[in-house]
Amino acid sequence: MPKNQFERVFIFLDTDKHASAFDILTTIDLLPKISVLKYENVTAEDAEKIVRDAMFPRGPEGAKHTKIFINGQDFEQAKRILARVQKSMFPPFELAVIIDPRGAYTTASAAVAKTFELLSRRNLGSLDGKTVSVLAGTGPVGQTAALLYASEKANVTVTSRSLQKASAQAAMVNEEVKANRVKGVEAKTPEEVGKAIEGSEVILSAGAAGTQLLPLTVLREFGKKCRVVVDINAVPPLGVEGLGADADGEQIASRIFGVGALVVGKLKNRVEAELILRAAEESKGIFDYRTAYEIAKKLVLEKKKEQNSIKTETPKHWLP
């Protein structure tokens, strides 16, 4: 078959009982001339068999047009699937692989990029050296966000209802970034949440939908150094009291500016779309949280550049 005759195929490997319609439909809308295969309740052992079957039938040229999308609520299983997929491939049978377990990587990337953008917009510097608290930091989005903040050289506190989980997560991130930048604390009560955020300049609420983690009274009392707060929960009650889901830099308390979940979600969708398009064009490679964050930062920097260009444009009535 001639090279240009190969159809692009996306194979979805999902850890859940039902594969995510969101990601499948997003991919189809972006790339209408593709075929989609989906596998559900996938384990790492299953993934090796599926990928090996996908690598060979169309030869090395066909493999360049075969893409894998790893998904599912089971965050650790998704990572194990990725490891097994990587181990299964070898030249010239290497596929482009996306991993974004239930949007955790793209959501975390968007949240951290919006933090970066709002700090810059308010002339508050970069994330380097900032003190950051990630509430519910042991969930998929919280884990990924903590890793991204630490990679930007921020000092991070991750909270959990379990001190053991928080400490284990902190140790894992510190090992990943090769620095002792993250600590874990227990935060079951509003008072414990207050102690966790005390001294933080940035707060990310990364809890589950419909779960309020940060009451406004706690933020006002303990967040006196806080300047930016971000929420990923768009389902009432919102994660941060007083922070609207559509807030994009508005002041929610004295000298505290917020980004709501719908604004994070809008950027997350753009990041996922770019992630899919990149994988579609590349013959091989792993497209994970690193790629997602690179895309998210690029998008917010492009937006800032456009805004600065508009501000400096000479008004028409000033022209001769």
What are 289-314's pLDDT values in tens digits? 999 999 999 999 998 777 776 665 55
Mean pLDDT of all residues in the chain?
A: 94
pLDDT in tens, 121-157: 999 999 999 999 999 999 999 999 999 999 999 999 9
| Confidence check: pLDDT of 4 > 80 | no
> Do 138 and 165 contact (CB within 8 A), yes or no?
yes
What does the chain come to in residues? Answer: 320
* Per-residue pLDDT, 306: 76
pLDDT at 2 over 60: no
* Domains defined for the chain, CATH in brackets: 3-99 (3.40.50.10280), 104-262 (3.40.50.720)
Region 47-55: mean pLDDT is: 96
Angle, CA of 263, 224 and 217, to the nearest 5°: 75
Nearest-angstrom CA–CA distance, 7 and 34: 6
pLDDT given at position 5? 80
What is the pLDDT, as a whole number, of residue 307?
Answer: 73
Identify the burial level of 102 via C-beta atoms within 10 angstroms of its C-beta, where 0-12 means exposed, 13-18 middle and 19 or more buried. buried
- Of 206, 234, 71, 80, give the one whose Cα is nearest residue 139: 206
- 3-state class of 14 per DSSP? strand
Question: What per-residue confidence (pLDDT) applies to 320?
Answer: 43
Tokens of 134: 């990630």
User: In sequence order, what are the residues at sequence separation of 6 or more whose Cβ sits closer than 8 angstroms to the Cβ of residue 120?
Assistant: 126, 304
Mean pLDDT of 31-52: 96
Alpha-carbon distance of 14 to 273, in angstroms, equals 19
Q: For residue 10, what are the β-bridge partners?
A: 36, 67
Segment 217-260, tens digit of pLDDT: 999 999 999 999 999 999 999 999 999 999 999 999 999 999 99
| Cβ contacts of 258 within 8 Å, gap of 6 or more | 228, 229, 230, 231, 240, 243, 244, 247, 249, 250, 251, 252
Going by C-beta distance under 8 Å and a sequence separation of 6 or more, which residues neighbour residue 110?
264, 265, 267, 268, 271, 296
In degrees rounded to 5, what are phi and psi of residue 253?
-155, 180
Which residues of 30-124 form beta strands (DSSP E)? 34-39, 66-71, 96-99
pLDDT digits (tens, 9 = 90+) for 181-225: 999 999 999 999 999 999 999 999 999 999 999 999 999 999 999
Distance between CA 71 and CA 78 in Å, rounded? 6
Determine the pLDDT at residue 318. Answer: 44
Across-strand partners of 158? 134, 184
Res 305: pLDDT: 77
* Distance between CA atoms of residues 59 and 62, nearest Å: 5
Q: What is the pLDDT of residue 148?
A: 98
Which pLDDT tens digit goes with each residue over 57-110?
A: 999 999 999 999 999 999 999 999 999 999 999 999 999 999 999 999 999 999
Environment class of 127 (CB within 10 Å of its CB; exposed 0-12, middle 13-18, buried 19+): buried
At CA 262, angle to CA 123 and CA 250, rounded to 5?
35
At 184 the three-state DSSP class reads: strand
Question: Token pair of 104, please?
Answer: 């955790």
Nearest to residue 230, comparing CAs of 210, 205, 254, 201?
A: 205
